[in-house]
Structure 1
Amino acid sequence: MDAITQQLRAAQKPITRCLWTEADAITFTPSVLEQTFGDGLALFAVTTINNRPAYWIVRGCSTWSAGDGYRAPDDAPEFGDMFDEVLTALEDEFGSTSCYERNRNGIWIDQETKKFIPQDWAEYPTVNDECGCSWWRLDWPDLEGVTFAPHPFAKYRILAAINNGGR
């Protein structure tokens, strides 16, 4: 794992988020994907319908448009066009619930063996993408010794440059 991703992981702290009301709030630590995409200078958050409000952090290309209303160049690649590759990387690193199902009592079981599995095997950061997903841009946290620059078309910062040890 590169030094910047290590620092980014170390910078993550538990946060509390809710989906609809404070009563359904959860506390989680955002998980940072080791794999980077494109130049890896920009940050994106990815969540699934079944994992929200928890999310993963992905280092993506600074040229990607995120469909977020910022005036990206007309030829900017869309994050959504890269999403299958991003999702596969998330599932490879954090696991997937695609081999699990809930029985009529809401207990997670293995689809093939029908054996019960521990609840936490099927919970975040394991990816449950059965019902869809969404993504958005994130700003970088301050990291020691890392320089940032304004994003070329969004309000968030990007990495200014990556030295040989940072990638």
Structure 2
Amino acid sequence: RAIVKARAVQPIETTLQLAEIVSSQLPRPKPGQSHPATRSFQALRIAVNAEFHELVDGLEAAERALRPGGILAVVSFHSLEDRIVKRFFQQRSGRAGQGSRHAPVTEQEAPRFETLTRKAIAADEAECAANPRARSALLRIGRRTDAPAGPVDRSALGLPRLVLQGDR
């Protein structure tokens, strides 16, 4: 609302103007926290570049391209990306959620990947000291099986849904 209001007065022409508008609407950051507008700019970049859809497209392409025994290693840099990668490997390795009293058991396809890491691998202290950008990186690894590639159930991957004006 603040952005729309500011645009009614005059066009927003610089990122600094936009950052100031966003900052004015958020609580003051605590010492050591990133700039308040950082997440807003990240969200804009993700939406404009369709980064999550590109990620899923890349995972599907890797599955089709890898031969049996091939290794897929994916580095994600924030929790939304990692959730998609984690669910992709769960879905493709046959470890997706089983049925419950609320949801029927679904037929499991042959696993297309064998996960080589139970949990994501994070950078250790030494690597973070040498490369501060590594602090948020998470690595997940899977080995391709001989099951044929197939379509991915995107709805089960946790892709955030973009709400456009009028969709409410």
TM-score by length of 1: 0.26
TM-score (normalised: structure 2): 0.26
Which structure has the larger Rg over C-alpha atoms? Answer: 2
